[in-house]
Amino acid sequence: MRQAGLLPNPRLIFQSENLRTTNFNYGQNADTFLYASPAIETSGRRGARIDLAKSAAGRMRLEEQQLRRDVALQVAQAYWNAVTTEAVFTRYKENAEYFRQIVEYHEARLREGKAAEVDVIRVRLEGQRLAAAADNAKLDAEKARLELARNIGSGSYDWQLTEDLTRLESPAQSTMTRPQQESRGSWQHSSSYKPEAH
């Protein structure tokens, strides 16, 4: 912007005339001229150039702010996706462990002759289905952690997410109806929040 306000450089013009290809002596036959002329801007060109530079600088600042918000949003989304997929995997793992005990119970009843084999087979299949779902949930959780690591620029994802989903509070109804100016201020406050990752 400071450069846009500078005055234009003067022009230096070097001109040679009467140049020929035969019987020519440059020092005696050529006409050489050297002109120096200052450039004068009219019609407010300098002011318009300064205004254009100011608007370009303002646009770049806005683009930088938008980029910062986009990065913060991507990190927040990746973080909460990692937290939720980790919670889903934990629940699937717990369910698979509980169902393993149910399978063992039905197998014990089969050995005692108190349960039909077809019922035990059904229970085993359900247990295998839950185990497969737990494996898929584990893969999803690892992918989400890897995506979070990529978004925060971490070379590894062997840290532990410590957010407790059972202690989260739902937003109050009054905050949903506040004017946009107040919600914009709360967004700036929340964008500075850095999730805990150990």
Helix 45-111 crosses helix 180-191 at what angle (to 10 degrees)? 70
| pTM of the complete model beyond 0.95 | no
The pLDDT score that the predictor gives to residue 92 is 92
31 and 18 Cβ atoms separated by less than 8 Å: yes
Which burial class, exposed, middle or buried, applies to 135 when counting CB atoms under 10 A from its CB (0-12, 13-18, 19+)?
middle
Q: How confident is the model at residue 170 (pLDDT cuts 50, 70, 90)?
A: low
Q: Count CB-CB contacts under 10 A for residue 134.
A: 21
Q: Quick: pLDDT tens for 36-88.
A: 777 666 777 767 777 888 888 889 999 999 999 999 999 989 988 999 999 99
Residue 65: count other Cβ atoms within 10 Å of its Cβ: 11
Contact of 150 with 75, CB cutoff 8 Å? no
What pLDDT, in 10s, does the model give residues 100-150? Answer: 999 999 999 888 888 898 988 999 999 999 999 999 999 999 999 999 988
Strand locations in the chain (E): 11-17, 31-37
Sign of CA dihedral 69, 75, 77, 83: negative
Ramachandran angles phi, psi of 23, nearest 5°? 45, 55
Q: What distances in angstroms separate CA 169 from CA 41, 172, 196, one per listed residue?
A: 63, 9, 17
